Chain A
Amino acid sequence: MRLQAVDVTLGYGDRVVVDGLDLGIEAGTVTTIIGPNGCGKSTLLRALGRLLKPSGGQVLLDGKRIDRLPTREVARVLGVLPQAPSAPEGLTVADLVARGRHPHQTWYRQWSSSDADAVAEALAMTGLSDLADRPLEELSGGQRQRAWISMALAQGTDLLLLDEPTTFLDLAHQVEVLELVRSLHSSAGRTIVMVLHDLNLAARYTDRLVAMRDGRVVAAGTPHEVLTEELLRKVFDLEAKVIPDPVAGTPLVVPVGVRH
């Protein structure tokens, strides 16, 4: 297990969102957490990325308690792309991606050629080399999302947590981002955990699905195991047919209606 949540309780203030949850993320897999709005999937992802401290239980990174590891050390192994991240005004793509090198720099070695190499490589992998000097706000939504992923790549971690990386993107750009995620996985064996809303895209680009409702894991397994008509009822209150995706053969959810 690369990353593990052991009996974690998560919340904001007095409000408990996730209560006593267990989840393990295996090395070299792409895992997607699905579930209705407010089910705690982003909260769980934030806890896995040590952005939120559990009020109970613990998160283990490679078997060690993540809250006891120096945060910089964690940042060299684990990259997190928060939901709808915002950048300071006027920042260029290259500036943003260069920020990803932060955990590798020290006060006596602030910028080195290996940093420059990592930034150039991350830009090339996300197809942004030509846009490096453009301010972020001039980019399209898809390009901007790729820039953020590029920053996480420059961080050079083999574990990536992406919170709704396709939000606000049209379908073509969603596919583009997920193809990129998939290639990051297949080219370097990165372990990736995402939160996604689109079940059909999740099924297609994911090794393992984790379905959550009310802060609990209802089902976890391959898309075929998880995305069943019964589960959609249980997790989303959704009546739907599940048929094979004519392109990929993965489960395809066709909604019938909402159960009342």
Chain B
Amino acid sequence: MRLYGPSRPRAVAVTLTGLALLVLLMAMNMRIGDIPMSLAEVLRATVDAGDPGHFVVMDLRLPRALTGALVGAALALAGAITQAIARNPLASPEILGVTTGASVTVVAGVVASGSAYGGASGLLLSLGIPALALAGGLAGAVTVYALAWRQGLDGYRLVLVGIGVAAVFTNIKYWLLTVGDVNDTTRAMVWISGSLNGRGWEHVAPVALALSALIPLTLLGARTLDALRFSDDTVVSLGVRVNRARGLLVLAAVLLAATATASAGPIAFVALASPQIALRLIGSGRPPLLASAVLGAVLTAAADLIARTAFSPVELPVGVVTAVLGAPYLIYLLVRLRGKGR
């Protein structure tokens, strides 16, 4: 008799291949800098504490590469959860109010602090902005959640409310950008397009912490996420406390997206595209969690590599590249979904 049950050789293969690719991409990223290095030099400088390049690699290049990978992973995992909850491949943490909330708060903070910020205040740059972004992201999520909640959390309603709130936040953001001092707004623009420039260990730590706590928790919730794909009556009859389950999973997605955004700004499309690419590579029913996270890291690392090399010596913010890559993908998704009646 054949055994029925989950079998995931393909998910394991995709995840492992992704991890290998990620290490390679990070190493290639770490070659770039004031002193270009070969891959061998990067490797030697990483493992050998006595190597002259050790400080540069460990204190500048590795944290930047790690921030990119971890932020990508966190965004993609948040996207995978959101898409499964909303039963909608176009859902992303953007509709949870996180990224747009963070953008508004950061722009407001930068514009309000004015020339004080312009005066090379490194402290505000490294600590103030992530804190502002985290607070704004969480506030945005609370706004969406409060407006979407009606005797329960309905995926469809969440998407509609989320799109509405995102539009309002985005417009406030643009208004702030037009009234602010041009020097401030230029700095703000770099942040709100999502950048990994100058990211250090202090940006790695929060995302690493969030991921190490939330990856195991969401993996434990994967079974519930499977059940939540059915209509509510079926979910309840399977013994799932549906509102509590949905609320906890959304909370995990919000925390992941908010910490990621705090570290690198709202990097576009990673959360939207990675889960869908992972889904197609693996052929599972819903976005796979771990594989999505790994692909999110790969995508961000690859985008950062392109951002730094395509127009060398000019370095683009990584979010610009993910947006340029992501937009056609979004159109592809829309075209593919058209006429399906949902």
Contact = CB atoms under 8 A, between A and B. Distances in A.
Contact of B4 (A81, A94, A105): A94
A54 to B, nearest CB: 15
Contacts of B238: 75, 99-100, 102-103, 155
Interface stretch (B112-120, B176-184, B220-228, B246-254): B220-228
A85 B238 CA distance: 13
B1 A120 contact: yes
Given A88-B87, A88-B229, A99-B226, A111 B234 contact: no
Contact of A111 (B6, B231, B236, B239): B6
A110 B6 CA distance: 10
Contacts of B226: 99
Contacts of A50: 236
A70 B40 CA distance: 59
A44 to B, nearest CB: 14
A85 B233 CA distance: 8
B10 interface: no
Nearest to B231: A86
B156 interface: no
Interface string A49-77: 11100000000000000000011111110
A162 to B, nearest CB: 11
Interface in B59-78: none
Of B230, B231, B240, most A-chain CB atoms within 10 Å: B230
A71 B240 contact: yes
Contacts of A116: 3-5
Contacts of A80: 233, 236-237
Contacts of B232: 51
Given A85-B233, A88-B286, A102 B4 contact: no
A97 interface: yes
A1 interface: no
A115 B285 contact: no
Interface string B187-228: 000000000000000000000000000000000100100110
A50 to B, nearest CB: 7
Given A50-B236, A71-B241, A91-B285, A99 B227 contact: yes
Contacts of B87: 88
Contacts of A46: 233
Contacts of B229: 88
A115 B223 CA distance: 14
Nearest to B217: A107
Of B87, B231, B232, most A-chain CB atoms within 10 Å: B231
B233 A95 contact: no
Contacts of B3: 113, 116, 120
Contact of A79 (B6, B237, B285): B237
Contacts of A51: 232-233, 236-237
Contacts of B1: 120
A226 interface: no
A78 B230 CA distance: 18
A82 interface: yes
A254 B233 CA distance: 35
A74 to B, nearest CB: 7
Given A70-B239, A102-B239, 7 more contacts: A82-B233, A82-B237, A85-B234, A91-B285, A111-B6, A119-B5, A132-B2
16 contacts: A51-B236, A71-B236, A72-B240, A73-B239, A76-B239, A78-B237, A88-B87, A88-B229, A95-B285, A98-B4, A99-B238, A102-B239, A115-B5, A116-B4, A120-B1, A120-B3
Q: Which 5 A-B pairs have the closest CB atoms?
A: A75-B239, A72-B239, A80-B237, A82-B233, A103-B239
